[in-house]
Amino acid sequence: MTVTTQRDLKRADTLQRIVQSARRLVTEHGEMSLRSVARELGMTAPALYRYAASHEELVRMVAMAIDADMSARLVAAADRQPADDPAARLIAATVEFRRWALENREEFSLVFTNVDVECLDEVQPAASCGTTFAALILEVWDKYRFPIPDLDDLDPHLAQILRSPDGPAAAKGLPDDMRGLFWLLQRGWVTLYGTVALEVYRHVDARLVDQAVLFRAMIEDQVQPLGLTDDLPRLRPLLDSLLAES
């Protein structure tokens, strides 16, 4: 029986304030040195070593916090759409992801293109962007019942990984007959990630970014495997208005 002493409470609170302060610093000043974080909290830099073994570990904590926060933003964006319209909810979350990434390039870089930050899904599966998108796609399937790829039709290597009980599909809690969904999710994630990263790092013409041309094309590509082709005429103006909001 572990009792939570008064000191444990304060410790938890301090840890939270450290991460939160570091996050604010990287957002507002694109930097989170130990000294500046400590200064904000009225502490000294070495004290932070009671909470993180290194600066790198603190960065990882911040990355996780940002990811969790992003996840909440995605859910909020989805919830601004009708509860019975999962397609709209998915698109809204996707647009929100892009909008956030383009507005917070440093944070995006910290979380999503950081050699020191491994896959977050494994550490905090509950509240990560990946899990959120997975849930949204599952909603879409629940309503539209688009065909799930048959594992036997896929690359045998891939099928074996998906069937594995300790594989990524099992980790998402997908039942055996729905593991093909993980493949769809993964492929969608590749294109979303690739498009947004390319835009964030300006590896495409600025005009293409402004008009969200690549992003639009990516969404339209994803519509078909998700069984939303018939809804496209309805979804297109929605996408336009969501993009215009920014």
Partner DNA sequence: GTTTACTGTAAACGGTGTAAACTATGATTC
Partner DNA sequence: GAATCATAGTTTACACCGTTTACAGTAAAC
56 touches its own copies (CB under 8 A): no
Helix 213-223 and helix 232-245, axial crossing angle in degrees, nearest 10: 150
Q: Which of 40/220 has CB closer to DNA?
A: 40
Choose the one of its own copies, DNA, none that binds residue 194, judging by a C-beta under 5 to 8 angstroms depending on kind: its own copies
Q: How far is the CB of 72 from its own copies (least distance, A)?
A: 20
Kindly identify the residues of this chain, within the stretch 56-75, that bind DNA according to CB under 7 A.
56
20 touches its own copies (CB under 8 A): no
Kindly list the distances between the CA atom of residue 62 and the CA atoms of 4, 52, 100, in Å, as whole numbers in the listed order: 25, 11, 16
193 touches DNA (CB under 7 A): no
55 touches DNA (CB under 7 A): yes
234 touches DNA (CB under 7 A): no
DSSP line for 136-199: HHHHHHHHH-PPPPPGGGS-HHHHHHHH-TTSHHHHTT--GGGHHHHHHHHHHHHHHHHHHHHH
Using the rule CB under 7 A, which residue among 20, 24, 40, 51 binds DNA? 51
On the CB side of 118, how many CA atoms lie within 13 Å of its CA?
Answer: 5
124 touches its own copies (CB under 8 A): no
Q: Which of 9/217 has CB closer to DNA?
A: 9
Using the rule CB under 8 A, which residue among 193, 225, 232, 243 binds its own copies? 193
Whole-angstrom Cα distance, residue 88 to residue 42?
46
Using the rule CB under 8 A, which residue among 217, 224, 230, 245 binds its own copies? 217
Nearest CA to 34 among 48, 52, 51, 19? 48
Q: How far is the CB of 76 from its own copies (least distance, A)?
A: 23
Using the rule CB under 7 A, which residue among 6, 28, 142, 157 binds DNA? 6
Choose the one of its own copies, DNA, none that binds residue 14, judging by a C-beta under 5 to 8 angstroms depending on kind: DNA
Question: With CB under 7 A as the contact rule, which of the stretches 52-60, 78-86, 129-137, 198-206 interacts with DNA?
Answer: 52-60
Task: Give me 78's structure tokens.
Answer: 């989805």
Q: Counting beta carbons within 10 angstroms of the beta carbon of residue 239, is it exposed (0 to 12), middle (13 to 18) or buried (19 or more)?
A: buried
Contacts of 162 (CB under 8 A, 6+ apart): 151, 154, 168, 169, 179, 180, 182, 183
| Contact assessment for residue 216 and residue 226, using Cβ atoms and an 8 Å cutoff | no
Whole-angstrom Cα distance, residue 84 to residue 205?
37
| Contact assessment for residue 117 and residue 56, using Cβ atoms and an 8 Å cutoff | no
Residues making contact with its own copies (CB under 8 A): 105-106, 109, 112-115, 117-119, 130, 155, 157-158, 161, 164, 167-168, 186-187, 189-191, 193-195, 197-198, 200-205, 207-208, 211, 213-214, 216-218
Residues making contact with DNA (CB under 7 A): 3, 5-8, 10-11, 14, 31-36, 38, 42-47, 49-51, 54-56
